[in-house]
Copies of this chain bind each other. A is one copy, B any other.
Amino acid sequence: MLQSKLFTKTRKEAPADEVSKNAEFLIRAGFVDKLQAGVYTYLPLGLRVLKKIENIIREEMNRAEGVEILMPSLHPKENWETTGRWETMDDLYKVSDTSGRENALGPTHEEVVVPLAKKFVSSYRDLPVYIYQIQNKFRMELRAKSGVLRGREFIMKDLYSFHTNEEDLKKYYEVMKTAYENVFKRAGIGINTYLTFASGGSFSKYSHEFQAVSEAGEDTIHICDKCRIAVNEEIISDQSTCPECGADDLRKEKAIEVGNIFELKTKYSKPFNLTYKDEAGNDKDVIMGCYGIGLGRLMGTVVEILSDEKGMVWPEEIAPFKVHLLELSSDDIEVSKKASEVYEMLNKAGVETLHDDRTDKTAGEKFADSDLIGIPYRVLVSDKSLKAGGVEIKKRTEKDSRIVSIDELMTEFPQNK
């Protein structure tokens, strides 16, 4: 893509009320725009990252036999009364139409997916089944100050699993753990992310969170480095040692909850009377689990963890582009021609490239923008690079650049299709 056609521009400053690093970088680099507190527009660069995260999650959910659907946001009040959450959930947006009909704006979808499952699940033969969606959620955050980490409107993947018994739930729970580990690994924060034991509420001893260590986190976790698992501070009085090895020398860190998996058991199947007939013909409660990942939050977490003082540093698999092609001294027709050739070559080879073809920017401005945007490879075409025998290539994560000939450039990206 030509940077001159990107619509957005980098900005010197983020809005004054944005205090978080993720918001500052994402807004300054033109990845998102803030419409109001906790409500963001994804701009072309940000949307590309979001779509890549979405595709990673979709692949991992499909691999775990998830079936994708898309549920709506306008939920009838009755469904939320059935579970009792119409009254008890403080951050539920409620909207009524002029005929007086009341709706919740879905912050989660148990109230929709359980009645839906009731239409298709009747026998043990229909189970297990795993249903997910990637969809917009609403939550009434009165003070949304963490950028895209905590929004009033945000995109989530939520998967719901339905089982005949708890053993089967536990089996699938392990499958999901692995799927989640894959997602965070592919998004570039695998090494920073810990499976964390957290409060299970009234119906289960523990739930499990995936917590990514970051100063921007709202949670505090206690990590067992040997087992690579952690305990959320909220249960540390009950569980002060590693649940796996029993070690008590846990390391305390701030962390961002990037995912959670939860044994719902019969918490939502009971109120909706979601049952199945077992082999003997008896009615039994369906056993459920639920599993969430916030896409924007994951994106924001990557920014919090992997940035440096100059800007963002995107892991290859979720970067908006793989190559940032900079052309310097565009007055020079030869440089401009060569840069266009390189751009064509990269496009043809399927290497996603953002071509900074802007003619009204200095070299310094282009370098600063490139560091801020954080695309993994910077390829520079300039008078100097051409004289030195080709283009200058530099990884965002490395300090030094090298000159490679234009013919050899493609070999720098071996894993390309």
A317-366, CB < 8 A from B: none
Q: Would you call A138 and B74 a contact (CB within 8 A)?
A: yes
Q: Would you call B36 and A76 a contact (CB within 8 A)?
A: yes
List residues of chain B with CB within 8 A of the CB of A42. 69-70
Residue A179 is within 8 A (CB to CB) of chain B in the complex: no
Please report the C-alpha to C-alpha distance between residue A76 and residue B41 in the assembled complex, in whole angstroms. Answer: 13
Q: Would you call A41 and B67 a contact (CB within 8 A)?
A: no
Residue A40 is within 8 A (CB to CB) of chain B in the complex: yes
Quote the shortest CB–CB distance from A111 to chain B (angstroms): 10
A125-158, CB < 8 A from B: 129, 131, 136, 138, 140, 142, 152-153
Minimum CB distance partner of A121 in chain B: B7
**A interface, size bucket:** 35 or more
Residue A39 is within 8 A (CB to CB) of chain B in the complex: yes
A81-115, CB < 8 A from B: 90, 93-95, 97-99, 105, 112
Minimum CB distance partner of A50 in chain B: B70
Quote the shortest CB–CB distance from A69 to chain B (angstroms): 5
Quote the shortest CB–CB distance from A105 to chain B (angstroms): 7
Residue A8 is within 8 A (CB to CB) of chain B in the complex: yes
List residues of chain B with CB within 8 A of the CB of A75. 35
* With A70-B47, A74-B36 as contacts: A116 and B41 at CB distance below 8 Å: yes
Minimum CB distance partner of A38 in chain B: B74
List residues of chain B with CB within 8 A of the CB of A140. 97-98
Residue A205 is within 8 A (CB to CB) of chain B in the complex: no
List residues of chain B with CB within 8 A of the CB of A67. 5-7, 44
Please pick, from B9, B47, B98, the residue contacting A68 in the complex, using a CB distance under 8 A.
B47
Residue A283 is within 8 A (CB to CB) of chain B in the complex: no
Q: Would you call B72 and A40 a contact (CB within 8 A)?
A: yes
Indicate with 1 or 0, residue by residue over A1-29, a CB within 8 angstroms of chain B CB atoms: 00001111100000000000000000000
Q: Would you call A68 and B44 a contact (CB within 8 A)?
A: yes
Q: Would you call B7 and A131 a contact (CB within 8 A)?
A: yes
Please report the C-alpha to C-alpha distance between residue A136 and residue B135 in the assembled complex, in whole angstroms. Answer: 10
With A43-B69, A93-B95, A94-B95 known, 15 other A-B pairs at CB within 8 A are A7-B69, A7-B131, A8-B120, A35-B71, A35-B72, A35-B74, A35-B75, A39-B74, A41-B71, A41-B112, A41-B116, A42-B69, A73-B138, A73-B153, A95-B95
